[in-house]
């Protein structure tokens, strides 16, 4: 039993790399016609699967105040409305800075699952959590079609700047829907893709706009709750959804 340096006590030791083998493939669903691309750019995830991935390079990109979702982390955490004891899946956890915030917020009787397709990111998350005394966190190796979490195992799924990387969105969403408890939530943060306004990077990197992504999540069975205005966001948006009881 260790005490976290922020004063929260955790019950269970940090587990090493854990992949819960539970997958579900679902048929693709059609959404309304849209002028934006409908296919994820080829090779969009290759760099994350690369065994030579240098985590330090991504730390310099992800955990800097110039990145909107990092600078706005406190406001985003407020929008997640995490309660003590909740279980949270941070899907596309990357370097894990949100996972660490969630672990501190949900407290010793809650748990965080850092889901990513990059073994190098997950190794970093495990090492950093151990160094910080965070014991209520488990890395989970996801796949292109599943977050690999058991049925009704989490209260909240958090997807930040990652949904546009889903190579098979409806299959991944099916696994997410199954993993969320009835009444549980899904938080989506992604880039606002607006032709004629968004940067060329976003137009070429993100396959569709907010409305298309929202429709896909609703088709997966989630109910749209609202869009939260985050003052620091200029290129991102935050949407909240709920799984019906």
CA distance 234 to 154: 30
Angle CA 140–188–54, to nearest 5 = 45
Cβ atoms of 128 and 104 closer than 8 Å: no
Report pLDDT digits (tens) over 216-242. Answer: 999 999 999 999 999 999 999 999 999
**Which among 143, 146, 148, 197 is positioned nearest to 173, based on CA atoms?**
146
Say which CATH superfamily domain 46-242 falls into. Vaccinia Virus protein VP39 (3.40.50.150)
**Those residues with Cβ within 8 angstroms of residue 109's Cβ, 6 or more apart along the chain or in another chain:** 11, 84, 85
What DSSP state is assigned to residue 139? Answer: E
Domain spans of the chain?
Answer: 46-242
* pLDDT tier at 40, thresholds 50, 70, 90: confident
Report pLDDT digits (tens) over 177-224. Answer: 999 999 999 999 999 999 999 999 999 999 999 999 999 999 999 999
Answer with the residue of higher pLDDT: 54 or 39.
Answer: 54
Q: How far is CA 150 from CA 22, 38, 126, 157, 243, in A?
A: 6, 29, 21, 13, 16
Can you give the pLDDT at residue 183?
Answer: 98
* pTM, entire model: 0.85
Report pLDDT digits (tens) over 115-170. Answer: 999 999 999 999 999 999 999 999 999 999 999 999 999 999 999 999 999 999 99
Can you give the pLDDT at residue 27?
Answer: 32
Can you give the pLDDT at residue 38?
Answer: 64
């Amino acid at each position: 039993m260790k005490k976290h340096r922020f004063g929260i006590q955790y019950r269970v030791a940090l587990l090493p790399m854990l992949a819960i083998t539970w997958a579900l493939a679902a048929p693709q669903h059609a959404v309304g016609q849209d002028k934006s691309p409908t296919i994820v750019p080829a090779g969009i995830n290759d760099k994350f699967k690369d065994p030579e991935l240098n985590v330090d390079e991504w730390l310099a990109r992800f955990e800097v105040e110039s990145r909107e979702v990092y600078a706005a982390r406190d406001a985003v955490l407020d929008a997640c409305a995490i309660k003590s004891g909740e279980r949270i899946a941070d899907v596309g956890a990357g370097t894990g800075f949100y996972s660490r915030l969630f672990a501190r917020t949900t407290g010793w009787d809650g748990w965080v699952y850092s889901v990513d397709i990059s073994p190098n990111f997950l190794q970093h998350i495990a090492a950093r959590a151990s160094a910080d005394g965070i014991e209520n966190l488990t890395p989970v190796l996801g796949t292109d079609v599943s977050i690999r979490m058991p049925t009704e195992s989490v209260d909240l799924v958090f997807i930040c700047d990652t949904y546009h990387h889903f190579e098979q969105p409806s299959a991944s969403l099916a696994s997410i829907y199954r993993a969320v408890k009835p009444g549980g939530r899904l938080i989506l943060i992604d880039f606002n893709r607006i032709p004629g306004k968004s940067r060329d990077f976003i137009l070429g990197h993100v396959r569709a706009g907010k409305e298309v992504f929202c429709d896909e999540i609703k088709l997966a069975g989630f109910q749209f709750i609202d869009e939260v205005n985050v003052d620091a966001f200029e290129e991102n948006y935050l949407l909240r959804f709920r799984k019906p009881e």
